[in-house]
Each structure stands twice: as structure tokens, then as C-alpha cells.
Amino acid sequence: MKQKMSMMMILILCISILGACSTPKDGGTKKDTTEAGAAGNKKTLILGTNAEFPPFEYREGEEIVGFDIDLGKEIAKELGLELKVEDMIFDGLIPALQAGKIDIILAGMTIKPDRLENANFSDFYFTASQMILLHKDNDTILGPDDLVKKKIGVQLGTTGDEVAQEIEGAEVIQFPAAYAALLELSNKKIDAVILDLEVAKRFLTQNKDLKMLDIELTEEEYAAAINKKDTELLAQVNEALKTLKENGTYDTLLKK
């Protein structure tokens, strides 16, 4: 009986050793996932943004500041991570995310179908719309129909770019940043600029030559983009967003 028991024990031991031996395979897959989303095992959350989009992200001297940066800091804090901000061209953000160079994008980025093919998006944190900006001397463009065959400035790869491309016969001029498009508009080199509402409002306070039509061309939602393989981070970010909305931090940042 005793012998039978110890045989059983050895058998159980063998099975568990075998089991343990097969674990590295699973562990391997897990490791791949975390490496792909650069966050894995690290103490830092690398936030990718394009610091030309006030009040969401912009430079104050050397420092990158704004709502998205504050939100990123709070999310990182919830996750027990240190935040590092990488500034790059807007159009390069999703490729950087896919290459694992950044963990998360917070860049006033709108959730849209083609982006969903290349990244996961968190729950949305802000609603937005595309607006038409004009030189204040322009009294012939009264709505999107008047943009037909006109020269329209946009920021490359944005939803504003997409909206402009759909306008019949329009000549769409893509700029690396919105302020460059607005400068051309001030100089009357182009007829209009299509840009996100809050950002347009901010630029208008700084440029008295420009005005905005009171027509919302789109309904959009900004969210954080995360590497498709990094589903764990996606869940954590959604959880953090929920907490920040519930505990009032989100509202405080919004007011700021």
C-alpha cells in the first residue's frame, strides 16, 4: 500500500514536472505580446504624440504640455508607470506604435475604421468635429459646398485631410502641422483650412486674420491608440480612464 502510494506520488510529480516543462511555451507567447507592446515588464509608459495640436499637446519652451499629456501622466500613475513623451509627425504615430517604439498614442486622435485595422482604441475621452477656417476677408465661402475646386490646407493624415479629399475638385494641400496651413491662410495663399474644433478655437485667439464657420462637418471621438497585440494595456487604460472619470481627475484636467 505504502509502495503504491509513493508510486502515485512519483507519477503526480512526473506529471507536474512535465506540466512545468510545457509552461515556457505559453510563457514564450506571453513574452512576445509584451515585447510587441513596448510596455511589457518596463517601468515606463512611452506616449507618442504630435506636439502641434494645442490645447491637447503643444510646446511651452522645451516642455511638451497639454490635456493629452496630463491625461497620459494620470493614466501612467494609475498603472504605476513613469511617463515618457515622444514627439513625432502625426502621420508617423500609428507606424511607431506598430513597430513597438511607443506604447500608447494620445494625440487628439479620432477613432476611425482604417486606424482600427492597425491599432486598438480605448474608450473615447473627448468629442470633436472638423471645422472650416477662412481668412476674415473671405465672404464668399459660407459652407462646405462653396469649397468645391478651392485650395484647402490640412494637416497630413488627419480626419481634416480626409474630409477635404472628399470635396469635389478641391486642391488639398497637406502640411506637416496645422499652424503651417493657417499661416498660408493668413497670407491668402490658400482658401480654407479644415481643422478640429478646439484646436481651431485656440489658434483663432492667436490669429486675428482668421475666422471659423459655425458648421460642424463631422462627429468624432478622440481615444488612446494602443498596439493590437497589447490587449492587457488596452484593458488597463480603459480601467484607468474609468477611474479618472469617476474620481473627478478627468474633469479637473478638462477645466485646466
Q: Cβ 41 to ligand GLN, closest distance in Å?
A: 30
Q: Residue 68, interface with ligand GLN (CB under 6 A)?
A: no
Indicate which single residue of 46, 51, 53, 131 sits in contact with ligand GLN (rule: CB under 6 A): 53
Residue 57 in contact with residue 107, Cβ under 8 Å?
yes
**Binding string, residues 32-51; x marks residues near ligand GLN by CB under 6 A:** ------------------x-
Residue in 168, 214, 210 with CA at minimum distance from that of residue 193: 210
Q: Residue 174, interface with ligand GLN (CB under 6 A)?
A: no
Q: Residue 196, interface with ligand GLN (CB under 6 A)?
A: yes
Q: Residue 175, interface with ligand GLN (CB under 6 A)?
A: no
Q: Cα torsion for 204, 205, 211, 216, to the nearest 10°? A: 60
C-alpha to C-alpha distance for 173 and 171, rounded to whole angstroms: 6
Q: Cβ 84 to ligand GLN, closest distance in Å?
A: 19
Q: Cβ 155 to ligand GLN, closest distance in Å?
A: 5
Stretch that binds ligand GLN, among 39-47, 102-110, 143-151, 211-219 (CB under 6 A): 102-110
Nearer residue to ligand GLN within complex by CB, 39 or 109: 109
Stretch that binds ligand GLN, among 31-39, 108-116, 229-237, 241-249 (CB under 6 A): 108-116
Stretch that binds ligand GLN, among 2-10, 32-40, 118-126, 152-160 (CB under 6 A): 152-160
Q: Residue 107, interface with ligand GLN (CB under 6 A)?
A: yes
Stretch that binds ligand GLN, among 5-13, 38-46, 101-109, 136-144 (CB under 6 A): 101-109
Stretch that binds ligand GLN, among 155-163, 167-175, 201-209, 226-234 (CB under 6 A): 155-163
Q: Residue 122, interface with ligand GLN (CB under 6 A)?
A: no
Positions touching ligand GLN (CB under 6 A) are 50, 53, 90, 107-110, 128, 155, 158-159, 196
